[in-house]
Structure formats: structure tokens, C-alpha cells
Amino acid sequence: MAALALAGLCGSACTPQRQFSGVALVSYPGGQACFTIQPTRADAAGPYWLRQIQVGDEQGKTVWQTTMSPPLARAHEPCIAYGQTLPSATVDVHPMPLAAGKTYEVVLIAAESGQGGDIKGYVAMFKPASAP
């Protein structure tokens, strides 16, 4: 599913520098799934440029997707809560309820070094402990 998300965002414009190799981080402040990326380089602790968030279920169905145009500069903290409305975002798929104990995949499409930086897919699997 994640490879489809990256391919769908890039279309025919993908270049060899675009990679699907980062790690998304999932936390649960207040019991709500919340996402950010793990920097892939020690010098990438500054803001990253978020282009898209996609969450899918075990069957590959997208349960939330939002796209930022232009890309949104984000700090690594605070994280982005599931279903959160972001500036410059278009909601492609409105957030559906998450089922407790079910496995989901989150993909954050972002560049670490500015709007012109290499685009990567940051991926994590997660299971909500309780439904929001």
C-alpha cells in the first residue's frame, strides 16, 4: 500500500532521488494516534516539508488522506493527530473511525531539506489501543 501512496503522489515526475525509506513515528497522546517523522540524518533536526499523510487499514483501504499544497513546513514535535486539519491541506479522504486492536499503516510523504529536497515516504504500522 505504501508504495502506491508514493507512486500516486509522484506520478510520472518521480526521479531516482525520491525514496521510500524513512520511518514514521507513532505516539498516543490522550489516546489519539499521532504522527511525525524520524530524521534520516543527524543534521536534519530542523523542519521538514510535509506533502501528504495517508493512513490505510489491513485490507489496503485508505481511511484518512490529506495533501498539502504547497508543502507545509513542520517541526518534528508536536506530532500530527489522526484526522487533524492542517493549513494548506486538502482532505482527500475524510478520517474514518479507527478500530481498537486493528493494524493500520501510516505514510508521511515529506522532504527533510526544504521544498526542493528529496521526497521520501516515512512509514509505520500501528494499532490503536482504543477507538477515538
Q: Is residue 116 part of a domain?
A: yes
Number of domains in the chain: 1
Q: Is residue 87 part of a domain?
A: no
Alpha-carbon distance 73 to 114, whole Å? 8
**N residues, the chain:** 132
Q: Is residue 108 part of a domain?
A: yes
Find the domain containing 121 and state its range. 2-73+103-126
Q: Is residue 95 part of a domain?
A: no
Q: Is residue 91 part of a domain?
A: no
Q: Is residue 14 part of a domain?
A: yes
- pLDDT 10s digits, 89-105: 999 999 999 999 999 99
Q: Is residue 78 part of a domain?
A: no
Q: Is residue 39 part of a domain?
A: yes
Going from the C-alpha of 11 to that of each of 18, 98, 113, the distances in angstroms are 12, 29, 21
- pLDDT 10s digits, 21-50: 678 999 999 889 999 887 666 555 567 888
